[in-house]
Amino acid sequence: MVMERSIDDYKDNAVFEMTSHYYLCQLSGESAAQHLDEYELEENYTPKWVNPREAIKQNNLVKKQHRNRKWIHRENYVLEEALKIMSNNNTFCLS
């Protein structure tokens, strides 16, 4: 779980607060339909399975182009922590 708190970028005299939950899991091979939020639809979000190291690499490329994407810092932090956990547990695949 990651908890964030900062001055809101969009509302005056407001605080942005968000709690994000993350889970390590193994896939069963089954898939289901996406249920995207409006902004995710507008951004054309599509799933792509990549290993954590590749995700960090891609996030860093986006970060160079869009410095205002605060979520990248959070996601890279979580991915780095997941890599630490996964490297100590043989049941997860890092390929």
Which residues are CB-contacts of 91 (< 8 A; sequence separation ≥ 6)?
26
The reply to whether the predicted model has a pTM over 0.85 is no
Q: Tell me if 54 sits within 8 A of 94, measured CB to CB.
A: no
Q: Give me the pLDDT at residue 30, please.
A: 80
Taking only the tens place, the pLDDT of each residue in 48-92 is 888 899 999 999 998 888 877 778 999 999 999 999 888 887 655
**How many degrees, rounded to 5, is the angle at CA 38 between CA 77 and CA 52?**
25
Mean pLDDT across 30-50: 87
Percent residues over pLDDT 70 in the chain? 94
Domain ranges for the chain: 50-95
